[in-house]
Structure formats: C-alpha cells, structure tokens
Structure 1
C-alpha cells in the first residue's frame, strides 16, 4: 500500500481505524508473486525526476501503475501529484532474523546510512514540498482526496482478532479499484497476508530450533569480542543508542554478525523455519493467500498497459 508522503502517510494512518485485540505484527512483505517477469518499460515521470522504469518485477509494475492512477485521479481534482518511487526494503524487512549477507553488511552495516538517505529524500520529495506549501485547510482537502474522508467502506479481520477499516473513497481506493477490480477482496487479502508475515517472524524467533541455533551464533560473536545474546540485541545496540554509532563501528558489528550467521548455521535454520511457517500459515488462511495471488495475476496485464501508456 503506497501513501503520498510522510505527512500524508501519518494522516492516512490516522484515518484508518482498528478495533478489537490482536498481537503485535510486523509489516513484512510476503512472498514475491510467481507471475512471469515483466519486461522493463520506460514510463514518463515528473519533470524533475525524468523517465521511470520498472525492473521486471511484477509487483514493481503493479506499484507503478497504482501510482500513475493516483496521479491521474488527483490531477482530475485539481491537485498536484508526483509519482512516488518504490522504496527499498529496510534492514528489518531484508533481514528479519539475522544479517547474513557479508557484502551488504560491509557496505551498510545495519542500514542506518540508507535510512538517512531515505529521510533526506523525503525532505526533498516534491509531494511533501507541495503539501507543506498549502494552507492548513487545503492540506485537509488533499488528505481527504487521497485517502477518503472517513475510514469507512473497507474492513478486514486480522488473524489476531483485530478489525481494521479504511475508506473506499479517495484516489488511493480509486486506483486500487481500477487495478484490482474487487477492492474489498484486495483490502482483506493485503491486510491479512501482511499480518501473517508478521506472525511468521514471531513464530520463527520463538521456535526452540531457532533459539537453539542462536546459542552457537552468540558464542561465535563472543569470540569476536561482542557479547550479545542474539541478533536482535546486536542490531538494537547499533541502531538505537542515544548517540549514533560511527558507520565503521556499525559495519564491524554487522560484518561479524553475518560471518557468525554462516559459520554457526543460524542463517540456514532461520531460512528453513521461515519457509516452514510460511507454508503453515498459507494453509491456515488459504482464501486470503489465494486471493492475493489471483488479484495480482489478474491486475498485471492492466498494470502493463497503464505503465506503457504512462497515464
């Protein structure tokens, strides 16, 4: 689900309601759509951004098509809108259990450099500049135009019992309806599968096999001078201190983590458990999993056409 800018993202989240009880979940993307790769396609972008291209990933094609539809909808209402580029996964999404890519760790540590780049990019974002340039009353109109006036019309019950809702009006909903046709099914499928992805991470990290595999990883880290009981604690030490770590120090810790992830076998165990629980959760919630794959598959030809036209 794309949102306009940091400011509109906040407003969009405030516009959504959630009731009931549910355990905490992480927003972790699900498996990639197995559809055939889409050829790269040049897309006219905003004047300040130049041409935009998809990478051949069907989900990127779908996301770009959605953005183009949002732009069309907003401009029909007299608002400015620039197509938002897809943002790379952060470290918690890329490595939900343990950093296990030595080359990535050497370049980025735990990704605080990439986070700073994203924050700087957000400050330069033309949509954000446009939003903040408008009077307060116009900002409310923009938020409503994008997200709908009230969080009503779409609803889904998450696996933990929480009921979530969102407006079926506004340019976000209009774009998704044009792209996926069955907006309610799309809303339910995306919200439930996102929740399942978060559940999966919790199931893996609480599995006794994962905890057992963390022990040799911790011993390996101690041999390199780092006394952390698990990858989560190591990551928190580098990314959440009162005084940010120097990049070189962060890189050393992340590189040690990646080396120990391989030598201890933790990476292999985590990936195996992730696959095991992914399959179990899909079998437990087959309707939403199947709906998500079907809706993406059926929307892909429409997305290709939208991207090719650039409208």
Structure 2
C-alpha cells in the first residue's frame, strides 16, 4: 500500500467494516427531528469521525464501481492472542511498562506480558493464523480496491516525524477525497494527524536519549548482568526469545518469569522507570510546544469535521 502502515491499517479496517455493515447505525436526527449535537466525549467524537470518513470513502468507492474485499476476521477469532478484554479494557498481561517492568509481583505472574506473547517461540502451544491465499482474480480485485482507496502513482504528501520516520500518502484516492470533504484540506489534515499521532513516540524517543535516562539504563545493565547480559529491557526480551527456542514450553515460561522478575527488581533498585516518567513530563511539554501549530491545526480541522458530520448526518 502506498501509505504508512498505521494509516493503511486504520483506513482499510474502517472502510471495510463500514462497507460490510459494521457501522450501519447513523446518528441522523433526534426524536424532535433536529440534527444531533456534536458528541461531548472524545471517544464518541472519534467514533463519529471514523463513521463519517468511512461513509464518504464508501460513497467514493461506489462511484468508482469498486467493491471492497471481505472483512477480515474480527475479535474472538481463533488464533487471536493478547489484545483487550471483551469489554474493551486492557487485559492484565497487556499492562504497559514503557521504561521497564517495575512490579516484581506482576512479573512473577505474567513474565514479560504482551511483549513476549507477540514473539512467542516456535514450539509453544497456541493457534496461529495464516494469511488467506488469493487467486489471480481475487488478488487483482483487492489491488483495485487498494488503488481506489489509497490512490496511485507518486505519493504527493510527505512528512518526517520527530522520530525520523518519513510518512507518505497519495492525494487521489477515496480516502483522500473523504478527508478533503470532511476536514477541508486533506494535505493539512495528513500533516497534522501524523504529527499528533506521533507525539507520544517522539516524547519516548527523547526520553530514551536523555543523558539522565542513559545513566539509569547503564545502572540497570550492571544490575541485570549476573542474570543475563543486556543493555536494555528490550534486549533482555530478545535474549529470552533466542534462549526459549531451544527449550520446552514449560521451561521457557519459567525462564521468562525469572528474567522478568530480575528485570523488575533492577528497574526498582536503579529507579529506571521513575527516571523515565519524570523525564517524560518535561520532554512531553517540549514536544507539544514545538508542534503547537500542527496541534492547533489538527484541533481546528477535527472540529470542522465533527460539525460537517453532524450537519450532513454522517
């Protein structure tokens, strides 16, 4: 696809779900026949914008006589691991630790948690999903859909994020058309959205390169060395994955928990997570100040989109 992975995944899933009836309910008007007001909660606003963008993209696809492919398997499908609980809450094993696990009791129960589940070694039990095999005709139909939704040719839109990632997109697809209608300026919306979506990553990027954090990380590495040489918690997980491939599942799980507990104790004794959290507050403020214009642009266009969606019953 001719856009970044996260843009493609979100847009494709939203459009496909809409096209197959997953977002059939429309706000329309209230009982008195008046237009519905703009929702107050951020989650409801997000849902409205997704529905509106999907509706507009679907109309564009219909005009171009393009049919979306079948919807991908949804939650609850066999082979799905990790993720959120059915009620939308994050499962205990998915608890985030951006600067290393700092809870030994949690580590003793969950090991490395979701980070390890995503890279479980061969030999552990658990169903695995396989990508569907498409014939030539089906592959061509899917490619036609992708081209119509995301556009073709040279990617006219480009922005470099604060972490150095270059994100590009086309401006001639149905997704671009939907965004132009909804937000007024697709190029500005693209730049502002990519910037806003990467604020957290930009902050984390700066924290992990801060001298104070690097000093705490060096203390952590010395602490963990008797258990396993590693320069960071991420490297410790990689080392576990290599070791676990040659072990029986039960022994691999036991090793994971033991190393995770060691990580947590070293994180606590060196104040690695605390240092990261304190630095994060400072760097987050700096990042938001640097991107203040794009953040304000994103807020204005978002409000424009919400008003447009309500006014036109999207």
Short-chain TM bin = 0.5 to 0.7
The aligned length equals 262
Paired residues for 1:163-242 under 5 Å: 165-194=168-197, 197-222=200-225, 225-239=227-241
**Which of 92, 98, 101 pairs up with 1:99?**
101
Is residue 79 from structure 1 mapped to residue 67 from structure 2 by the alignment? yes
Shift of 1:213: 1.8
Calculate the TM-score normalised by the size of structure 2. Answer: 0.61
Which of 233, 238, 245 is 1:243 aligned to? 245
Rg (Cα) greater in structure: 2
Q: For 2:300 and 2:104, locate their aligned partners in 1 and report how far apart those are by CA, in whole Å.
A: 36
CA contact (8 A) 2:151 2:171 kept: yes
Task: Note the C-alpha offset of 1:270.
Answer: 0.4
User: Residues 166-203 of structure 1: CA distance to partner in whole angstroms, max 9, x if unpaired?
Assistant: 21122322333344332111111133345554443332
Match of 1:139 in 2: 142
Kindly indicate whether the alpha-carbon contact (under 8 Å) linking 1:58 and 1:300 is maintained by their aligned counterparts in 2.
Answer: no
Unaligned runs of 5+ in 2: 7-16, 26-40, 76-81, 85-92
- The alignment's TM-score, normalised by the length of structure 1, stands at 0.61
Structure 1's 156 and 235: CA in aligned 2 closer, same or farther, altered over 3 A?
same
CA RMSD of superposed structures (Å): 4.8
Asked if 1 retains the 8 angstrom alpha-carbon contact of 2:66 and 2:144, the reply is: no
Cα distance between partner residues in 2 of 1:202 and 1:47: 39
What secondary structure sits across from 2:208 in the alignment? helix
Aligned residue in 2 for 1:256? 262
Query: 1:115: Cα distance to partner?
Result: 5.9
Distance 1:231 1:49, change over 3 A: same
Residue equivalent to 1:12: 2
Residue 265 of structure 1, aligned match among 261, 271, 274: 271
